[in-house]
Every structure is written in C-alpha cells, then in structure tokens.
Structure 1
C-alpha cells in the first residue's frame, strides 16, 4: 500500500453569481443631459404599485377608489306603493267582459295574503299594495256605501302606482371599478342596501423633517436657525390628496439618527417624503442614508424649480421614498409634479394634474428646453379666466397667494399679455 496517494478531488461547481439588486434602467437623457418631466414621472410611477384593495364600511371608504363593479342589491321602492288616496284594486275586476264598468266592488279592511277577486282595499299615498293588486282607484272614482264601492271611472293596470323598482331596479349598475366613493355615492349605495365596498386604502405617508438648523414653529429662533415650514406644508398637502399622514421631525444631520428614524417609520409607511432644510449638508445627509438602506435614483430633470430629484426604494419592503428640495417653492412644486402622482398611483386613481387654460395678464418668460412652473393666481370674469404671475419675494407668501401653477412647456419661451396659457390647479380635487 502506498504511503502517499493522490487525494480525490471534489468536482468543481460553478458558483452562482448573485447580482446586486438595482433599479430598472432609467429613461434616456436629452441633448442637455437632463431627464424630461414626463419621462421622470413615468419612471417613478413604474416603480410603485397601487395598494391592495379590501372591503371597508361605506364611511371608512369615503373618497377612496372603488375596485369593483357594484350593482343594486334591492329594488327601490322595494314594493309597489300607492301614489294617491283611494283603493288598491285588480284592474281586470273593474270591467265586465263587454268592457262595461262593474256595478260594485267589495271594500275590505284588511288582506291576509292576496287581494280577493272583486275586492278593493283602502290605501293612502305610500302604502304597499297587497299581492294581486296592480292599480289604485282614486277615491274620487267611486262612491262607497255599506262596504260596497260603486265605480264612476275605471283605471288601467299600473295607474296611480309607484311600481317596485321604478326608481332603481334590482341589479342596476351603481358604481364601476375606478369610481370615487364620494358622499353622494355613499348615499346611493346605502339606499340600495349596500353597507360595504371594495376600495383601496388611504396611502400612509410619513413626512420626515431633517436638518441641523430647523426648529419647530413657536420655538424662539437662535442665530442661523429657521422655523420648520416645509414639513408642515407638505404634510398638509399630502392630507389634501387623501392620504393618512404622519409627520416626524429629527432636526439633525446625524446619519445614524436619520437612518434609525426612517427604518422605524417604514412599518407604517406606503410612501416616505423627506423635507430637509435649505442647506446642501441637509440634502447630502439624507441622500447618503437613502443609499445605505435602499436603491436610489438621482436625476437632473428639465424642470424649474426643482431640477434636482432623488427617489428611492428603501428598507426590506422597498418602500418608495421621495426627497424634496429644501427651498419651499421647489419643495411644493416637486410635491405636485411627482409626489401627488405617486399618491394617486397608490390610491389607484388618475395620476394626472387638474389642467386648465387661462389668459395671461402680463408677460411670462421661460427657458427653452425646460418645463417652467410659475406660481399664479387666477380670477374668473364671467366665462373667461385670467391668470397673473405671483412674484412675492417671500417664498412662502408667494405660495400662499397662488392657486395655480402656470405651465410653460419646454418649447415655450414667451407668453404675451392676452395670450392663453396652460395652468395646473392647486386646490380642490
């Protein structure tokens, strides 16, 4: 036996190469190296799916998107009822075979099951007709004496009767998939005997405020500090869209603290929105944390204001997270252009803006190649809507005065007074 032998080699197994997770390929850039607003919006929406629907009571589902076709469960009215004072009758009992009026009918006080042949039951408006009755003989069409009704005129089947299902027939389509469960729709469903609907839940939005120099409103400011306005404004804007909103403030640029706050909030978030202070350090700290805990897309978008855009899917569940610029105007415009469509996507609703047209009262200027969104205020004069650009030097005051964004498309550089311009309405859903 040999003391030394060639050891048996294990078969070589190719190790499976596991690719690092990454976001889908982003849209192509234009000649200026920018991503178009339309492409960026479509890209973000492709990364977010609508929330799964479930059954809710009508009041819980108010203002949410219906995810099923809903038909009436009952007829309204459910039973045929009398329209006038008179007598419930069977129309065929009112005439002889030759068409002449019968002499009399028996007036009965009550009916056990069906209206007897040749009988008349006194009814008032709204009373349910007994089985067998198909018309109401008005009280003026007969005289009654000693329990017998002598006919003066006849009625045909269905006359003076509010038929079962006359207002709403059983099985009538009430709402279709994609409709909004408004207060009027709730009344419609409740009146049709329906107490629940399959709807998409309200998106849960966590607005996280960060930044070394931000303090809560009401706190005395030290030199270099600013009151935190952005996170309050964005939280209210998200609530106006229909979301359930949680606002969390960390007011620091410490990355570990920010990371802990974000990860703690993901359990109750369908969308996270970052609202930082105005410094570059605030923005960079948040971006660094997003890259550490998720997949991040950074883009320069052909839009003013708000050209710098950062989006990510963070945490194990890949919760969508949108970072807003620190400037209040840029933050608010970015919310309406990108965050609002994301919220509407989660709700399963139309993601487009509320467009309109207005007549410019002054000269409007833009830069070719960029979507320029000016702040504006509209005034309606009879059938014509005029829009004036709001140019207050105070950013938050400028937003407070505005009710539309004036949309200057990429190919529009100048709009003269009296010319029409596209607007996006900010208020009202």
Structure 2
C-alpha cells in the first residue's frame, strides 16, 4: 500500500490536503525511459541532454532567390549604371558541386542553395533584370522567363555588402553546442530542432496512460434519452480532457453501474493499459462500501503492498478521497468524489501533479499568485477546512464565480482560477488578499 499505511487513522481522522498530496507523490514514480521515433515523442519529457552533431545550417547558403556575386563586381551599381555580369551557371538547393564565381561573374542561385566558391554575397533577383536585359525584374517574372541553366548576362542595379542575404554556417547552432536540456517537454519546435540536427529517435519518458471511469447507476451517456432520476455523465469527459491537458494519453471508459463485481471487472480489464487509474463517484457515505469492496479485490489481491485507502480530507469541496495502488504492477489509483466541482478540484490538486510526476517533470503544480478579492460580500468558509472557490482572475484581482455548491458545472466552465481560503480563515472581506490557483 502507499506510505499512508504508517499514518495513524481513525474513523473520524481528517487528512490535510498537503498530507494526502505528499502521500500520492511519495508513491508515484516517473515512468521508465524509452527510445521513441520523433513524432511518437511529442509531449514527452527528454531524459538526456542533446548536443548538436553538425552545425545548423551545415553550410553557407542563400536566403533569397537571386545571383551569387563578388562584392567588388557590383560596387556602385545603380539603375542608370548597372553592373553587367556573366552568368556562369545555376546553383539549386541540394547542389553538391556548385560552379565557381570568378571576377565579373555571377551564378543564378535559389533559396537554400549553397553559396558557390568565389561568391561573397547574394543579390536578390528583384535587384536585377533577371538576365533578360529589360530593366529590374520582379522575382516571379524573372523566374518564369529566364530558363534554368540559361547563361549570358545579368544586369545588377544595386550594390551589396559582403555576406548580404547569406545564412552563415552554424548561424543557428554550432556542432558541439547544447541543443536541448534533459527535462525539456518535446513540442513541435523541439521536434523540428531534433530533426534538423539529424536525430531520428530520442530517449524520453513516455506520456502516462491514464484510464478514467465514472461510477453511478444514475449516469447516462450524452446523446441518449434521460429517464426520471438520471443525469448525464460529465465527469468522465471532464477528467479525460483534464488528463490530456496535463500531458497524459487518456482513455475514457465512461459510466459503470453501482455494482461491485461490474466495477471490479471493468477496472481489471483496464489495468493492462493504465499507468494511472482515476475513478469518480462512489467514495462518499452510501456508495462507499460498493467501491471499497470492488477496489479491495482488484487484480492480485494477495500482492503485498496493494490496496486503496479511503479518507476524509480537511477541504471543501472534495472531502471524500481514495488513494492507493492496485494489481500486480501496483498501478496508482485515485478515487475522486462524484460531484462535478469536487471531482475537478480534486483532479487539479492531486491527479494533475501525479501525472506530471509520472512524466518526470519537476514542475508539478499549476502556478499560484496573490490577488485582491473583488466581491460584493465577504467569502465565508468553515473553520478547519481549506476551501477552493471558483473565480475569474485579471489584472491582480479575482472575482468569485457561482456559489460554493459542488454541483455547479456552469460556474466551473466560466472560471479560470481557484480561490483558496485557508483552514484557519472563516471570512475574507472584499478588498482582502487571497491566494489563487491559475487554471489557464
């Protein structure tokens, strides 16, 4: 079981938010690193620093379509007195053996093509007649009328400085430099860099696989007809989306009826694809025994150290919680309350940090800040409970959204912050300072 087994607990014992979180993080361990293809590594955390094996770009190349020239040959060039240069050939992107540019010569060059020997700069095609002898040409007109490989003369109407319109070898990064540090989350720009320096695979911690299921015989899938006493299952959608936002690969199972055997079978079936399991509902008084019975017999129930403990936390909303490990692989499981707001707040406080710990990240929590309470009345909070209220944050102020009810989904959808009222505070007056968790 988790480290909580060593903590004395009675039927009326209350865990603090921090104690529960500490127990979770002491149990969850980062996933083992694996080697992945670049696109499969998107969203994963790099476990080793990557150095640059070859400079980027690996050679001097043109940043424009135009003509590679020697600076002295176009010095003083103007519309009235253009420089006339002999075109000795073409240099295309990917050219392995470009022509040499000598005095009085130019080479037609394409964007990305290597700067040919002897050339010192690139004149954009718009500053020339495109080899047509008809005055300055537009890039499109020059490229469409001057056949590739055509030789002859080109007239240049403006001078250039040395290295003009040339991307220098190693101008981005040089061989031996650090490309990416260990601990970097691989997004599109990082994957682009890895590809650009020739890495086809990378060693990362994989994105954790999180299985989300909700419990409750009253739950109906969205799109179906509601019968009397039924409600739509929103929790499994909310938590699956939240798990993906946290960086996980999340699988939504949906609603499972309040039946211990059905719940046990469903969880056992899902263990094969889970690095972390999250259930919602069935942890409060009433349905407590059904979920407890199901979770106590999941997988190899004789496996030493496995089991889920149900607790009461000194927080509002989200007082009933469950945590432990299940099955032969000791897969972590967090059992969250079923009220939508309680479930979501519990996810932000406990599940999100667990997911990020599995990823091997060091920044586990949402950012927090201090804000001035903007409200028409004081916020009330029960003593001894850490309360989390929905709010909207802007410019150093936070405004409460909705009431304290744990079923108010519409208010949750409008919130971008959680207002924290500490355990020893029973009232916060308008204009007072509060701590907020930023959800955006």
Which residue in the other structure is 1:312 paired with?
A: 324
Taking the aligned partners of 1:73 and 1:195, their CA distance within structure 2 comes to 13
**Residues 145-294 of structure 1 mapped to structure 2, 5 A cutoff:** 161-217=166-222, 218-222=224-228, 224-249=229-254, 251-276=256-281, 280-292=285-297, 293=301, 294=306
* SS of structure 2 residue aligned to 1:186: helix
**CA shift in 2, pair 1:174/1:26, >3 Å:** farther
**Residues 306-385 of structure 1 mapped to structure 2, 5 A cutoff:** 306-349=318-361, 350-362=363-375, 363-378=378-393, 380=394, 383-385=395-397
Taking the aligned partners of 2:118 and 2:9, their CA distance within structure 1 comes to 76
**Which segments of 5 or more consecutive residues in structure 2 lack a partner in the other structure?**
73-84, 91-96, 128-151, 153-158
**CA shift in 2, pair 1:295/1:138, >3 Å:** closer
**Which segments of 5 or more consecutive residues in structure 1 lack a partner in the other structure?**
1-20, 92-105, 141-146, 148-153
Taking the aligned partners of 2:388 and 2:234, their CA distance within structure 1 comes to 21
Report the Cα offset of residue 375 of structure 1.
Answer: 1.5
Q: Does 1:424 align with 2:404?
A: no
* SS of structure 1 residue aligned to 2:39: coil
Taking the aligned partners of 2:189 and 2:124, their CA distance within structure 1 comes to 36
Q: Radius of gyration: which is bigger?
A: 1
Which deviates more from structure 2 when the two are superposed, residues 259-268 or residues 66-75?
66-75
Which residue in the other structure is 2:48 paired with?
A: 68
**Of the candidates 35, 42, 45, which is equivalent to residue 22 of structure 2?**
42
Taking the aligned partners of 1:216 and 1:161, their CA distance within structure 2 comes to 60
**CA shift in 2, pair 1:221/1:168, >3 Å:** same
In the TM superposition, what whole-angstrom CA distance separates every residue of 1:33-81 from its partner, at most 9, and x where no partner exists? 4322222212111111111222333332222222221233432322113
Which residue in the other structure is 1:415 paired with?
A: 428
Report the Cα offset of residue 197 of structure 1.
Answer: 2.8
Which residue in the other structure is 2:79 paired with?
A: none
Taking the aligned partners of 1:136 and 1:235, their CA distance within structure 2 comes to 54
Query: Do the aligned residues in 2 keep the contact of 1:29 with 1:36 (CA within 8 Å)?
Result: no
**CA shift in 2, pair 1:161/1:390, >3 Å:** same
Supply the RMSD in Å over aligned alpha carbons: 4.1
With normalisation by structure 1, the TM-score equals 0.75
**CA shift in 2, pair 1:132/1:333, >3 Å:** same
With normalisation by structure 2, the TM-score equals 0.74
